[in-house]
């Protein structure tokens, strides 16, 4: 399973599947990180394998969405690191895509086409669309991921 994260500017990167947790009770920062930030996101699950998907068929590759939280550790130099343990939280409450607006559906289908040009989509992959506004977290801060979701 792959986790593809789409930034607000349209760029994207992959997170390792080992960063995924379903029930986040703790999040620990490594020693080289001084703080963390969290972003909300909209997550879709890929239901059909594909490569080089064309726009008119992109809608066939997903049928539900849910909320997600993405954590980034911030180092002393100010660099964000996304590949922390337990840094991707995906809700289990998937909803039908019919509840999304047309603009969001168009963004999702376009992203599926772009990503599938570079790598194969597999059943169970997640594509998470990161929201632009972060929540800042300090060391020792407790966060209720359910409240963020």
- CATH code: domain 3-148 is 3.90.850.10
Sequence-ordered list of residues with C-beta below 8 angstroms from that of 65, at least 6 positions apart, any chain: 42, 43, 44, 45, 94, 95, 97, 99, 100
| Six-digit token string for 44 | 């879709």
What pLDDT does residue 112 have?
94
What pLDDT does residue 22 have?
66
Q: Mean per-residue pLDDT for 65-79?
A: 84
Q: Mean per-residue pLDDT for 123-128?
A: 94
Examine the pLDDT at 140 and tell me if it is beyond 60: no
Spans of all domains in the chain: 3-148
- Please provide residue 84's backbone torsions phi and psi, each rounded to the nearest 5 degrees: -95, 155
What pLDDT does residue 146 have?
45
| Six-digit token string for 51 | 């490569």
What pLDDT does residue 121 have?
92
Examine the pLDDT at 138 and tell me if it is beyond 60: no
Query: 107-121 pLDDT, tens per residue?
Result: 999 999 999 999 999
Query: 73-85 pLDDT, tens per residue?
Result: 887 787 777 666 6
Q: What is the DSSP letter of 121?
A: B
Examine the pLDDT at 145 and tell me if it is beyond 60: no
d(CA 104, CA 91): 19
Helical spans, DSSP H, in the chain: 102-118, 145-148
């Amino acid at each position: 399973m792959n986790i593809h994260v789409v930034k607000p500017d349209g760029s994207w990167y992959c997170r390792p599947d080992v960063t995924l947790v379903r029930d986040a009770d703790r999040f620990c920062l490594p020693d080289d990180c001084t703080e963390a930030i969290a972003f909300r996101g909209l997550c879709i699950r890929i239901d059909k394998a594909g490569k080089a998907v064309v726009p008119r068929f992109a809608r066939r590759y997903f049928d539900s969405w849910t909320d997600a939280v993405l954590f980034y550790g911030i180092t002393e130099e100010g660099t964000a690191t996304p590949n922390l343990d337990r840094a991707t939280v995906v809700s289990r409450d998937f909803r039908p895509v019919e509840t999304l607006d047309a603009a969001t559906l168009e963004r999702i289908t376009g992203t599926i086409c772009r990503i599938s040009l570079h790598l194969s989509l597999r059943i169970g992959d997640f594509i998470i669309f990161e929201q632009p506004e972060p929540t800042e977290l300090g060391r020792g801060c407790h966060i209720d991921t359910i409240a963020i979701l």
